Amino acid sequence: MLDTLVLPAELTIYTVGELHPQWSAWLADAGSADDDTPLCITAAAVDQIDGAGLQLLVSLANSLAARQRTLQLVDASPLLVNACQTLGLESLLASAPSVEACA
């Protein structure tokens, strides 16, 4: 099982530049698995998010989709849930109750 990716408190234009390489390394491992179980990201700590942060999440989801994998945000903070719902990104929100239900 891969290490769970945990989102930081701040997911904004000021942090995506440093997060992108970290997430790319995680994606290299995650995308190579021969499994169709959704890859979950713990998102409880997010208390700041903007368009750049959401764009990075969508980019990660699209990169996984190209590898026939899906991304699910687990335990998403209310702020992140609201941002996803506002922009029509509900598909990123996990239906699983916890990260243990994911790969």
Break the chain down into helix, strand, coil percent, rounded to 5. Answer: 45, 15, 40
- Among the residue ranges 18-22, 36-40, 68-72, 78-82, the one predicted with the least confidence is 36-40
pTM score above 0.85: no
Question: Is 86's pLDDT higher than 90?
Answer: yes
Token reading at 83: 């941002």
21-29: average pLDDT: 85
pLDDT at 1: 44
Domain that holds residue 53: 5-101
63-75: average pLDDT: 85
Selection from 58, 39, 61, 46 nearest residue 15 by Cα: 46
Total domains in the chain come to: 1
